Amino acid sequence: MKTLRSLWKGHIRFSLVTIPIRIYNAVDTAQTVRFNQLHKECSGRVGYDKRCKKCNKVVSNEDIVKGYQYEPDQYVVFEKNDIDKVKLNSTKVIEIEGFVDAGEIHPTLYEAPYFAGPDGEVAAKTYALLGAALKDSGKMGIGKVVLRDREDIVAIAPHGGGLLLHRLRYPAEIKSMGDVPLIDDGIKTDKEELKLAKSLVDSMATSLGRIEMKDGYHGALREMIQAKIEGKEIVTVEEEDKPVVDIMTALKQSIEQAKTKKKPMVKATGKKTGQKAGRTSAKKVTKKASSKIKSKKRKTA
């Protein structure tokens, strides 16, 4: 079992209750495919050149300071000691300001998840108590914490026997949906089309657990990398454009297609025999959707 490394140490505090905790990154960044920049002629790696745009000199980390531009080409300079002088309670304490229903938090405000764990055996009991109270009440704690040089709002929720911290965006950072072109609340919906659309939604209703939550592009990219390592030529197959049909015809055909799909058979044990086949089919669909990559060996001279 892999042990996570904490990125923040402090306390959760609400009223007179204080819980020592550590925060861990919940996102596995190792899953991301990263490319290096190479020199086309010799395949040598291209380094990150920290060059000053004013004097054209390459500078080291020790020669770099932070500056805020208050007028064109006019900066006020901040040393590290200056930044450290900004003292907020949230640098070491997550002060819970209140508990709210999860439904009150708009989906656009969620930014990044973090795990919170108890810091020491003494804190474990109080930590578990807070998680149980949040689970039973259906509430989320809202507080603030300083992570990576900025103060963020966080929502604290129970998750898998522990606590999950959602870093939230500030509402002022979210743009208005009204700024999106061609959105008009005044457009009237045809009743018959709406009835068919709702019928299609109902026929496709499922649970999130039955939908394959995998990155098809990432998988196709891995396949392409492996093919290149093995010296194979990459061939892509373009999907044919489907003919455009009117909305009523499309809705009716979609509903019929949803109805004709075979449902998994159920044995006497109550288990669905089609589960394994369904997973295999999902993998085929993923491969088809991810650019339909095929590979063939290069002809040797």
Distance separating alpha carbons of residues 129 and 143, to the nearest angstrom: 18
Q: Identify whether the C-beta of residue 62 lies closer than 8 Å to the C-beta of residue 50.
A: no
Total number of domains constituting the chain? 2
Same domain, 14 and 140: yes
Same domain, 148 and 196: no
Quick one: pLDDT at residue 177?
87
Report yes or no on 243 lying in a domain: yes
- Dihedral (CA of 4, 7, 9, 13) sign: negative
Report yes or no on 225 lying in a domain: yes
Distance separating alpha carbons of residues 232 and 226, to the nearest angstrom: 9
**In 3D, which of 83, 91, 86 has the Cα closest to residue 67?**
83
Same domain, 110 and 227: no
Q: Distance of alpha carbon 146 from its chain centroid, rounded?
A: 21
Find where tokens 């095929």 sit. Answer: 294
Same domain, 108 and 150: yes
CA dihedral 272→276→279→281, nearest 10 degrees, is -100
64 contacts: CB under 8 Å, gap ≥ 6 = 50
Report yes or no on 24 lying in a domain: yes
Report yes or no on 64 lying in a domain: no
Quick one: pLDDT at residue 59?
84
Same domain, 21 and 155: yes
Provide the residue range defining the domain that includes 149. Answer: 8-28+86-172
Report yes or no on 65 lying in a domain: no
Same domain, 20 and 142: yes
Q: What is the pTM of this model?
A: 0.61
Same domain, 20 and 157: yes
* Neighbour tally for 93: CB within 10 Å: 17
Same domain, 222 and 105: no
Same domain, 195 and 95: no
Report yes or no on 279 lying in a domain: yes
Same domain, 132 and 14: yes
* Residues of the chain falling short of pLDDT 70: 1, 31, 83-90, 148-149, 235-245, 261-301
CATH of the domain at 13: 2.40.290.10
Same domain, 13 and 115: yes
Report yes or no on 69 lying in a domain: no
Report yes or no on 53 lying in a domain: no
Same domain, 18 and 123: yes
